[in-house]
Amino acid sequence: MRMYDIILKKRNGGSLSKEEIEYFVEGYTNNRIPDYQVSVLLMSIYFKGMNTDETVSLTDSMMKSGDVIDLSGIDGIVVDKHSTGGVGDTTTLILAPLVASCDVAVAKMSGRGLGHTGGTIDKLESIKGFNAEISMETFIDNANRIKIALAGQTGKLAPADKKLYALRDVTATVDQLSLIASSIMSKKLASGSDAILLDVKVGSGAFMKTPDEAFELARIMVDIGNGMGKDTKALITDMEQPLGRAVGNAIEVKEAIRVLQGKSKGELLEVCLALGSELLVMAGKTENIKDACRLLEKNIENGRAYEKFLEFVIAQGGDREMVLNPEKLPQGRFVTELKSGERKYVKAIDGMEVGNCALVLGAGRDTKDSQIDLGAGIYIHKKVGEKIEKGEVIASLFGNDVKKLEAAASRLENAFSYDEKPVEKRKLIYGIAS
């Protein structure tokens, strides 16, 4: 087989065979095929697309390029949730203990990654002592004993994807649905859960800007997952504004604790209940969504969900005092507030721009080696549809660097737009693909 022929075939609009896809994925991962040839192949795929068989083959080849985790040692059905990414998306911190409190095992590999804020693991590491580098043995043991374990990606999950994603990033070939779907699914399928629930975000703060695109991506990923023998579903949810009120690391942990304690309602809780209900049904815990939702709500009211979070943090070495007293979590020394000069309503919040402000404050990584400031972040007091009285605070910014705080605050002003008249709340859940 020759790479030249594979490129030519795709350039001319042909469909690649499983063997051809395996050949280029394997050859690229092992440095036998150069960047320039894979670059033009990716660009040809960008223009000519891939059919379902090709997308499944690509996913399979990337999945098999590294470790495929075996979680069969965990009792019952192991469920996993994956979000395609957004701003103020604190769902995993809430959903994992909430579902585990219903006796359904959550064993999740989570990323750190580049982004406006850290990933789930970075956020948890704002709790002193929290350790995500647990052994496979501890991971499985915790999942059996307390139904919850979260680890930074252990071993080499889908190294082919890592290499291809980095190349796509610099060749303007990230935003192709088959490439995105196979990239995400190769990692999910390698991480070993029995059932996969995808949360496909749509809106200004997400990858997918329109519902049509989001549904199409969801459809492709669900078909890949089910085609490869894993029960897979996707919810399509709104990311036109940040999901929760907190955007950062420690600040998101604080918000998660409040939601788990039943002290904070709103969009973040609603999305967690919707995702959690699907997960309980997928795990065979309840017959239908309604019963599942009731069980989740009950476990927030009776304190079980919060206790599960505490138990989980302690099991992974975290300081219980910081969960019991969240004011002990890191918080920037300086605060700046955005205030309103008049009475008005929030019409829209540009999620991506809020994320960029958090990044300016130091809450995320610019490059893979940058240090995260765990105490930096933004709290949004007023979300879309909410009324602001004259002089009320719209958002607070926390940080440790006054210059950065000033820069972020003036930028954050522009992320908000207003109306004098009441504004409708946004639709939160667009639908499901299964």
Phi then psi dihedrals of residue 393, to 5 deg: -80, 130
Closer residue to ligand URA in complex, CB, 60/255: 60
Determine the residue type at 154: T
Residues that bind ligand URA (CB under 6 A): 165, 174, 179-180, 183-184
According to CB under 5 A, which residues from 60 to 119 bind Ca ion?
74
Q: Which active-site residues does the annotation give?
A: 82, 161, 168, 183, 187
Is the distance from CB of 189 to CB of 230 less than 8 angstroms? yes
**Alpha-carbon distances, residue 366 vs 152, 174, 241, 246 (angstroms):** 19, 18, 22, 20
289 binds, among Ca ion, ligand URA, none (CB under 5 to 8 A by kind): none
Closer residue to ligand URA in complex, CB, 201/258: 201
Closer residue to ligand URA in complex, CB, 119/362: 119
- Per the listing, tokens 């033009």 go with 40
CB of 362 to ligand URA, least distance (A): 23
Binding to Ca ion by CB under 5 A, coded x per residue (else -) over 20-59, reads ----------------------------------------
CB of 8 to ligand URA, least distance (A): 25
Q: Which of 181, 132, 176, 177 is nearest to 161 (CA)?
A: 181
197 binds, among ligand URA, Ca ion, none (CB under 5 to 8 A by kind): none
CB of 411 to ligand URA, least distance (A): 25
CB of 168 to ligand URA, least distance (A): 7
184 binds, among ligand URA, Ca ion, none (CB under 5 to 8 A by kind): ligand URA
CB of 365 to ligand URA, least distance (A): 15
Counting residues that bind Ca ion (by CB under 5 A) gives 1
CB of 37 to ligand URA, least distance (A): 20
183 binds, among ligand URA, Ca ion, none (CB under 5 to 8 A by kind): ligand URA
Closer residue to ligand URA in complex, CB, 221/354: 221
According to CB under 5 A, which residues from 378 to 417 bind Ca ion?
none
Closer residue to Ca ion in complex, CB, 76/317: 76
- Determine the residue with CB nearest ligand URA: 183
CA dist 391 and 243 (Å) reads 25
According to CB under 5 A, which residues from 140 to 179 bind Ca ion?
none
Closer residue to Ca ion in complex, CB, 104/323: 104
180 binds, among Ca ion, ligand URA, none (CB under 5 to 8 A by kind): ligand URA
- Binding residues for Ca ion, rule: CB under 5 A, are 74
